[in-house]
Structure 1
Amino acid sequence: MKPNHRTAESSDSDKGEAGATTTAVEGQAAESNETVEKYDRESRTRDLWNTAWAKPVTVLAVALSLYQIYYALFGGPPTLVHRGIHVAAILVLCFAVQRSHLKEKRSTPPWYDWVFMLGSIAFAVFLAAKFQDLTVSGGRFDTIDVIFSAVCLVLVLEAARRVTGLVLPVLAVLFMIYDFYGRSMPGLFRHRGYDLDQIVTFMFESTEGIFSTAIGVSSTYIFLFILFGAFLQKSGMGQFFNDIALALAGQSRGGPAKVAVLASGFLGSINGSAIANVVTTGSFTIPMMKRVGYRPNFAGAVESAASVGGQIMPPIMGAAAFIMAETLGVPYTQIVLVAVIPAVLYYLAILIQVHLRATSQGLKGISRENLPGVIEVLKERGHLLLPLLFLLYMLFFSGTTILFAAVTTIFVTVAASMLRKTTRMSVLDIIGALRDGALTAISVAVACACVGIIVGVATQTGFGVKLASTIVTIGGGYLLPTMLMTAVACVILGMGLPSIPAYIIVATMAAPALIQLEVPALAAHLFVFYFGLFANITPPVALAAFAAAGLSGGSPMRTGFTAMRLALGGLIVPFVFVYQPELLMLEGTIGQTIWVAVVLLLGIVLMSIAAEGHLMVPLPVWLRLVIVIAALGLVTPTILYDVIGAVLAAAALFVVAVLARRQGKLSWRAI
């Protein structure tokens, strides 16, 4: 959603092979623009930055960012009015910059987008003027209420169509149809039904529809952390992440793939969009992976699997942690702490498979002379870590609010950038960051507003509770089949959706099924969050994988299936922490948490070996099956199965050693 421009100067270390790669990347990224836009709807913006329209859009975006900072520090209008201002400003920006369809060639908004912008302003003004009456109306409404409610509803649906695709608005419309025809629904899903005017006014004039908790979090925490990310990017943090990942992993076997995993994990936690992460880091890492010998499908799969994982990586977790904390009524810091171990295990699983693929194909890394040194990178840009360290201090040790922590961290980011000339932010850079933050927030805010419609219907009709009861009934009251059905439901509900609306929907519809079976609420929400995210790499609608395939030149479907295999650890981890909450530090001692994590890591290593079919030597199918059984035994929460898994694993590894010795490859270097 932001204009294309360089955010940082290239470091002196980007020479030789790495420098040539960067040059090649820029050419490939330009050639892949059309393909990327096919999957990343947020990139479908009008080229208005060289027109007279650029200044008013910049002014509005900067004004929105400054208003959000002011509101965080000093407060402002009542909650409903504030959320109305937030949504209206976001919609105006959306209709100003977002193309109405892929083939639109205009640089400025057409007449109907001007009408949409005026309508957005009008409903915000109406909501502010009507607020006092709403507090005493007792739910009563008149014709003018219905008109403005309908206007807001239509504008939100149209904006959602532009920035998220058809899936979310169509789902919202289907839920409203269900709301209207409730009396005609069969059996368990029958409800009293509501008139159309009741539905639209409920969505507009309450905090349980468009202006629900989702928009409440968007208009506070999420916006400010997106703004923080924009300031980090302007200061050169993206370049720092790429450089430090190159320095740490570039020389190892298959180094560029490991660079992709590390860089995508760093950036994904901050930017919160799997597809945007694929586009941002993938344009740099995918060509590097192909150059050292990785095939296009595998290169795209590595980038998409790593990008999806960024949203489960603390401390920011793509802003979904804020929604989760608000929904569950638990401290944000608790979400961050419990998510650490599962996220690390997820990335270790990807790194293991990447390494095994490199050893099986004899791939090498980038030569040391063509890579930046760790000390060199830290000297040049290491001071950019200060804002992140300051943020962690503010969140965990200062005792201040999250909003105050976010705002002060933005100020610290600007101050830290001034420590080196290469990262110093000018006044124009600060204005650009304020603008880019507001523009980047469009997709999240619009999605939150639209998903509020779905949540509103679920609130009116009790649909979420009914669906959860149905899932539990079909599962026979047993946890494992209920978890499997819940996982499938999450993948289906998450298809084609950004991570935040996907989480909100699955948390409303699917998480209650697990909670009914006495799964801890936090574990249940993390479970559905994981599987809602995996819809981005699960064919047939694997948007992150498809975007990566557009950059790599591989097959979208094959890239998606390969990404699923790479994310195998992430598919296993949620089942483990539901059965063993010790992994999330929700129960037991630190020793028990460490034990569960170590045993699970061994299981993930074995599963990765079986998936790649290689450990020093190619493995026969029967041996891979034995290793899979051993891995499943280790991840099963029963001592007996752990022992069986360990025995099978030892036997399988002994056989592997025998095979490797026969072929003269029994060596640590071959691993």
Structure 2
Amino acid sequence: MLALLKLIAPGRSRQLGTPEQWTVHVIGVSAAVLLIAISFGWYIKREIALFLFLGAVLSLAFLTTTANPLRPTGRSTPSWCLVALSLGSCGYFVWMQPVHEMRLPMIDELSTADIAASIVLIALVMEATRRCIGMILVVLVATFLAYAIFGNRLTGSFAHRGFSTQEIVDHLVFSTNGLFGPALEVAAFLVVVFVVFGALLDRIGGADFFYDIANSLVGKQVGGASKVAVVSSGLYGSISGSPTADVVTTGSFSIPLMIRTGTSRTYAGAIESAASTGGALLPPVMGSAAFLMTDFTGIPYATIALSALIPALLYYQSVFLAAHFKAHRDGLQPMSEGETPSILAVLRRDWAYLVPIGLLVWGVLSLNRPAFAGALACAALVPVAVLRHPDPVRLVKTLFFGLSDGMRGMIGVGVACAIAGLVVGTLSMTDLTGKISSGLFHMSGGSPILTILVSAFVIIVLGMGMPTPAVYALSAVLAAPALIALGVAVLPAHLFIVYIASMSAITPPVAVAAFAAASIAKANPVLIAVVACRIAMVAFLLPFVFMYQPALLLIGSPAQILISVGTAILGVLALNAAIEGYFMIRLDGLKRVLLFLAGVGLFLPIPSTEIAGALLLSATTAWLWSTRRSAPRARPA
């Protein structure tokens, strides 16, 4: 049984030989340059660009990932065959695009070659998904496809009229509601430029810059190493948008530093995992799910980014306070003076990094053209790279390998968006979306609270086996209609899904951020994930709060926003103190219960409970202050 599970498990990274390395680099750099040029405004037909993007992603997936963990990591002839099939099938669609452009979808007949190429492409996407993500998503897609084929044999409300093979292929491959639909389009025309920007920034030393900034700001505080991890991961993650990439990049510095200064291996990995996960929620870039949200909802990305700012800052307040209280409770020492540079010295040396980042923020928020803003930021990195690497040969290598790294970073996102398109296409074709949403609503008996809880449970379960973009794409068509039917506005409903889906990076048993941190911390990944969930517990509550208190999303009057943000800040403080067992002094059971009740009261969107929570927090704080003042102090020797 164990051997069978390993045979169908995701593959592992392949050790590339020289031919494979250069093939990966050529495909990656070519695709990255093409997509950045499109972001700058160079015109190419949408369909052709998507065919080329999918062909590149599939080829990179088969070249860099083994079929399963048992396969050797060296050269593989079957993988080269799959690469040839990927390029061939996508090349067929590029070649036939003028012909397909003239046909009437769902009316004109498809040729045998069209159907064969489509089936091959669907099979390739599913195989790439199995290798890169896992069997759970493949089984889910196969289930939906089986429903499309055999659903007419069912009885009751879940039966449909039945579809021929040509109808299924036409809808899934030749329409804009399937494989080449919104999910893949967002990945190709939005997400990729930001992933490439993050890879280029990392290649020219951006991760070191963020680490030094964080170190200069909080390194001298108690528990400075943990706080440096939180701040640096937030800064870098807000640009990269990828929890796993954030862990691997900033965690390679912060986790060993935390362990060296007295933090346990498990807690060091958990802090880094929790902090890196928040990067997918923090503007200006956020994660790829937020880009998908713009397409699903029609809400401008700048509006989404501004609305997500306060909850994201509350998330980082929570993780930072967890590190702060834990450090005081355990008596950890600050980092030494020699390890903490001054902020002025860092800015004097590395001020140039702020230019592309500033352009990115300005472009996203002011121009409302995130793809162009990302491309502009990539271009602005070139002068920074010249300053950092004046040698022409090294400069060219830095930019070349940065572009290649960016496309390799798109493998998981691209495959996830492609497979999500198949699921969304099947759901729209069979009208299963409305049936499942109605089922969620009836399962909860029409209760708003239960509907939200059931939706969150479904999202978390999906997130245990899938990356965030795929989770969001599915949940947006499954859970969002049920939430909106309750009277929840579109923006809070979809941001709720984004936040819950993003937490899948630290949710056991498949917690990708925790597994990445475990490889650095040399600790149990499941224990890291459990501790990370405890650290980020408040983050699991925030989506429920802003569903009923949209002022946290900057929706409402200035007074409502001010009150909501103020009570949320105090609630985060109280809950973290209760969870970590420290607030000015070590806390016993009663004090922790009082602070926990105060935090819950401050979070509940009811004026009376907010007032009661604030009064209880004030009284408990006064009690703790007086206890601290009256505690005997050790006399100097």
TM-score, normalisation: structure 2 = 0.93
Aligned with residue 208 of structure 1, among 174, 177, 181? 177
Residue 600 of structure 2 corresponds to residue 635 of structure 1: no
Residue 111 of structure 2 corresponds to 142
Q: What is the CA RMSD across the aligned residues, in angstroms?
A: 2.4
Structural mapping, 1:268-347, within 5 Å:
268-347=237-316
Residue 35 of structure 1 corresponds to none
> 1:494–1:506: 8 Å Cα contact kept in structure 2?
no
SS in 1 for 2:103: helix
Aligned with residue 93 of structure 2, among 94, 115, 127? 127
> 1:247–1:373: 8 Å Cα contact kept in structure 2?
yes
Aligned with residue 181 of structure 1, among 138, 150, 153? 150
Deviation, 1:662, is 4.6
Residue 413 of structure 2 corresponds to 444
Deviates more, 1:551-560 or 1:488-497: 551-560
Aligned with residue 81 of structure 2, among 106, 115, 118? 115
Q: In structure 1, how many angstroms separate the alpha carbons of the residues matched to 2:321 and 2:23?
A: 50
Aligned with residue 486 of structure 2, among 517, 525, 529? 517
Residue 5 of structure 2 corresponds to none
Q: In structure 2, how many angstroms separate the alpha carbons of the residues matched to 1:389 and 1:371?
A: 25
Aligned with residue 90 of structure 1, among 50, 57, 64? 57
Residue 598 of structure 2 corresponds to residue 602 of structure 1: no
Residue 374 of structure 2 corresponds to residue 406 of structure 1: yes
> 1:269–1:315: 8 Å Cα contact kept in structure 2?
yes
Q: In structure 1, how many angstroms separate the alpha carbons of the residues matched to 2:311 and 2:73?
A: 46
Deviation, 1:419, is 3.6
Aligned with residue 60 of structure 1, among 15, 27, 33? 27
* Alpha-carbon spacing, 1:530–1:249, altered in 2? closer, same or farther (3 Å): same
Residue 392 of structure 1 corresponds to 361
Q: In structure 2, how many angstroms separate the alpha carbons of the residues matched to 1:611 and 1:291?
A: 25
Q: In structure 1, how many angstroms separate the alpha carbons of the residues matched to 2:320 and 2:40?
A: 42
Q: In structure 2, how many angstroms separate the alpha carbons of the residues matched to 1:584 and 1:247?
A: 31
Could you give the per-residue CA deviations for residues 537-572 of structure 1, whole angstroms, max 9, x where no partner exists?
222332322332343233333322211111122112
Deviates more, 1:411-420 or 1:298-307: 411-420
Could you give the per-residue CA deviations for residues 83-110 of structure 1, whole angstroms, max 9, x where no partner exists?
11210122122222222223433443x2
Residue 588 of structure 2 corresponds to residue 620 of structure 1: yes
Deviation, 1:400, is 6.8
Residue 663 of structure 1 corresponds to 631
Could you give the per-residue CA deviations for residues 443-467 of structure 1, whole angstroms, max 9, x where no partner exists?
2111111111111111112222222
Residue 344 of structure 2 corresponds to residue 375 of structure 1: yes
Deviation, 1:350, is 0.7
Deviation, 1:371, is 2.0
Deviation, 1:661, is 4.0
> 1:236–1:423: 8 Å Cα contact kept in structure 2?
no
SS in 2 for 1:218: helix
Q: In structure 2, how many angstroms separate the alpha carbons of the residues matched to 1:389 and 1:591?
A: 30
Q: In structure 2, how many angstroms separate the alpha carbons of the residues matched to 1:53 and 1:470?
A: 48
Q: In structure 2, how many angstroms separate the alpha carbons of the residues matched to 1:520 and 1:455?
A: 22
> 2:284–2:364: 8 Å Cα contact kept in structure 1?
no
Structural mapping, 1:21-36, within 5 Å:
none
Deviation, 1:184, is 4.1
Q: In structure 2, how many angstroms separate the alpha carbons of the residues matched to 1:145 and 1:339?
A: 43
Residue 331 of structure 2 corresponds to residue 362 of structure 1: yes
- AA matched with 2:173: F
* Alpha-carbon spacing, 1:534–1:73, altered in 2? closer, same or farther (3 Å): closer
Say how many residue pairs are matched: 624
Q: In structure 2, how many angstroms separate the alpha carbons of the residues matched to 1:549 and 1:72?
A: 37
Residue 460 of structure 2 corresponds to 491
Structure 1 residue runs without a partner (length 5+): 1-39, 667-671
Residue 159 of structure 1 corresponds to 128
- AA matched with 1:540: P
Residue 69 of structure 2 corresponds to 102
> 2:58–2:86: 8 Å Cα contact kept in structure 1?
yes
Q: In structure 1, how many angstroms separate the alpha carbons of the residues matched to 2:476 and 2:632?
A: 53
Q: In structure 2, how many angstroms separate the alpha carbons of the residues matched to 1:497 and 1:382?
A: 38
Q: In structure 1, how many angstroms separate the alpha carbons of the residues matched to 2:611 and 2:374?
A: 47
Could you give the per-residue CA deviations for residues 256-311 of structure 1, whole angstroms, max 9, x where no partner exists?
11111111112222323222322222222112112222222221111111111110
> 2:220–2:336: 8 Å Cα contact kept in structure 1?
yes
Structure 2 residue runs without a partner (length 5+): 1-8
Residue 581 of structure 1 corresponds to 550
Structural mapping, 1:468-487, within 5 Å:
468-487=437-456
Q: In structure 2, how many angstroms separate the alpha carbons of the residues matched to 1:227 and 1:646?
A: 45
Q: In structure 1, how many angstroms separate the alpha carbons of the residues matched to 2:569 and 2:468?
A: 26
> 2:300–2:368: 8 Å Cα contact kept in structure 1?
no
> 1:209–1:453: 8 Å Cα contact kept in structure 2?
yes
> 2:301–2:368: 8 Å Cα contact kept in structure 1?
no
Q: In structure 1, how many angstroms separate the alpha carbons of the residues matched to 2:145 and 2:391?
A: 50
> 2:10–2:67: 8 Å Cα contact kept in structure 1?
no
Could you give the per-residue CA deviations for residues 338-379 of structure 1, whole angstroms, max 9, x where no partner exists?
111100000001111110011111101211123222111112
SS in 2 for 1:252: coil
- AA matched with 1:652: T
Could you give the per-residue CA deviations for residues 515-536 of structure 1, whole angstroms, max 9, x where no partner exists?
1111111111110111112122
> 1:273–1:499: 8 Å Cα contact kept in structure 2?
no
Q: In structure 2, how many angstroms separate the alpha carbons of the residues matched to 1:257 and 1:184?
A: 58
* Alpha-carbon spacing, 1:41–1:656, altered in 2? closer, same or farther (3 Å): farther
Deviation, 1:222, is 1.0
Structural mapping, 1:478-557, within 5 Å:
478-557=447-526
Residue 48 of structure 1 corresponds to 16
> 2:204–2:385: 8 Å Cα contact kept in structure 1?
yes
Residue 39 of structure 2 corresponds to residue 79 of structure 1: no
Q: In structure 2, how many angstroms separate the alpha carbons of the residues matched to 1:444 and 1:429?
A: 23
Deviates more, 1:63-72 or 1:604-613: 63-72
Residue 3 of structure 1 corresponds to none
SS in 1 for 2:410: helix
> 1:468–1:513: 8 Å Cα contact kept in structure 2?
yes
Identity of aligned residues (%): 35
Could you give the per-residue CA deviations for residues 48-106 of structure 1, whole angstroms, max 9, x where no partner exists?
25x24433332222211222123333444432232112101221222222222234334
TM-score, normalisation: structure 1 = 0.88
Residue 3 of structure 2 corresponds to none
Aligned with residue 423 of structure 2, among 449, 454, 457? 454
- AA matched with 1:65: A
- AA matched with 2:537: L
> 2:204–2:388: 8 Å Cα contact kept in structure 1?
no
Q: In structure 2, how many angstroms separate the alpha carbons of the residues matched to 1:325 and 1:147?
A: 33
> 2:10–2:131: 8 Å Cα contact kept in structure 1?
yes
